[in-house]
Amino acid sequence: MDLFGKSLIELQELIKTKKVSSKEVFDYFAKRSKKYNPKLNAFHTLLDKPVTESSATGGSLYGIPFSMKDTYNTKGVQTTASSRVIDDYIPPYNATVYERLVKAGAVLLGKSNCDAWGHGSSTENSDFGVTKNPWNNDYVAGGSSGGSAAALSAYLSPFEIGEDTGGSIRLPAAFCGVVGLKVTYGLVSRYGCIAYASSLDTVGPMTTSVHDMAAILEIIAGNDPYDATSTFTKSFSYLNTLDRKVSGLKIGVPKEYFGEGIDPEVERKTKEALGIFEKLGATVKEISLPHTKYAIAAYYLLVTSETSSNLARYDGIRFGNDRNFFAAEAKRRLMLGGYTLSAGYYDQYYKKAQKVRTIFREDFDDAFKDVDLIIAPVSPTPAFKIGEKINNPLQMYLSDIHTVPVNLTGIPSLSVPIGLSKEGLPIGMQIMGNHFQEDKILNVGYQFEQETNFFDVIKKGREKYKD
């Protein structure tokens, strides 16, 4: 049976009705991954067989393979954060998100390449080599969860678990034409996740459709006693809210996201997408998020400070490697973070950045008093060429200018594809909601998915990887 391009619900039905076995499904994706991974470098750990045979035959994901960004602890399976510092680490325990998926019947296929420790926007900072964009192998897949996005885009895995600290799910999702969700901070447990910046890190799914996204989120969301920052907000069925009409919704469009530096095609495609919402009965209005221009500065002061603290544990006493094993980007962030937290500079930089973070929260709170949702481009540009920005860290950091405000405020944001550039590269927009409004942004994303042919275009582009 031809399994190519099947959605989660289609794979579930095939397994449930015994038209195909769970082993056949796993073997299908394992074979595809081994065939195309040398070309894309989406994975650096692939399994020949499931590490655990799930007994959850009635689970909603029974027999469905998946892969994870290599920042999650998976008992008995190498976990490296794409860094040579811990390239021989075999975790003795599982991350909560992994445990919940396994209990639902899913089986691990492999671990996806990423920028080492999550530090980057292109996977060019991975110690295991850059991941290539399936749409054009001369271009980056985005980062830091670039391996996850590339694997999904080429249908090497039916769904992925990424991690978003400053755009690391949404940016590669946009660059590779898949769906990515940055959840409300605390909605999904971070327990067992190798930390980048603990007050910003979020665990989220990456899928080929919004419907699949809702199905995965139902399983992984909710309180975890092992994570003190996880929410006690009761989760509910995100699938049951997808069919609500968007008529009457007020959508805000921040004018600051369409300023200097935005690619004309990104702007045009985003405005075309907004026109579709107006056709569906929503009201679109311009709003202002006035402190957007300070986002990158505040974010990188905070994130490098937390990075310097989190990476301090990886020293020679514990792991046997000295600091020279860290690659250039990790060293850069260690030095910047150590500087901003040092005596005499803490108040001048770190404390001031925390105050700016509060102002961002106020900007979004004010906006949500007037609109239901906010829509904007994910990135100012489509994917860029491999090597184009690697020697200019500031230009690389600016790739995240539209995504980091979401992490600073803790709100959710969904990236969905809205078309292709003239070079044939995907473009994405993000749908932002207030805290714990994942149901609302998934509903709006799903209605957009049903109304347009963009997802059909993406599916057609995937056919170059059809066996």
Digit-coded pLDDT (tens) for 41-85: 999 999 998 876 555 666 899 999 999 999 999 999 999 999 999
Whether 122 has a pLDDT exceeding 60, the answer reads yes
Which of 49-58, 233-242, 258-267 is modeled with the greatest confidence? 258-267
Active site residue 168: yes
Taking the model in full, what pTM does it have?
Answer: 0.96
CA triplet 344, 346, 347: central angle to 5 degrees? 90
pLDDT in tens, 199-209: 999 999 999 99
pLDDT at 144: 97
pLDDT of 251 higher than 70: yes
Q: Annotated catalytic residue: which of 6, 33, 67, 69? A: 69
Band (pLDDT 50/70/90 cuts) for residue 213 is very high
Q: Which of 144, 153, 157, 379 is catalytic?
A: 144
Q: Judge whether residue 183 has pLDDT over 70.
A: yes
Q: Which domains does the chain have, with CATH numbers?
A: 15-465 (3.90.1300.10)
69 labelled catalytic: yes
The residue that leads in pLDDT, 458 or 318, is 458
| pLDDT band at residue 145 under the 50/70/90 scheme | very high
What would the 3-class secondary structure string for the chain be? CCCCCCCHHHHHHHHHCCCCCHHHHHHHHHHHHHHHHHHHCCEEEECCCCCCCCCCCCCCCCCCEEEEECCECECCECCCCCCHHHCCCCCCCCCHHHHHHHHCCCEEEEEECCCHHHCCCCCCCCCCCCCEECCEEEEECCCCCHHHHHHHHCCCCCCEEEEECCCCCHHHHHHHCCEEEECCCCCECCCCECCCCCCCCEEEEEECCHHHHHHHHHHHECCCCCCCCCCCCCCCCCHHHCCCCCCCCEEEEEHHHHCCCCCHHHHHHHHHHHHHHHHCCCEEEEECCCCHHHHHHHHHHHHHHHHHHHHHHCCHHHHCCCHHHCCHHHHHHHHHHHHHCCCCCHHHHHHHHHHHHHHHHHHHHHHHCCCCEEEEECCCCCCCECCCCCCCHHHHHHHHCCCHHHHHHCCCEEEEEEEECCCCCEEEEEEECCCCCHHHHHHHHHHHHHHCCHHHHHHHHHHHHCC
369 is an active site residue:
no
Which one, of 257, 256, 253, lies nearest residue 277 by Cα?
Answer: 253
Catalytic option among 168, 235, 308, 379 = 168
Looking at every residue in the chain, the average pLDDT score rounds to 94
Q: How confident is the model at residue 391 (pLDDT cuts 50, 70, 90)?
A: confident
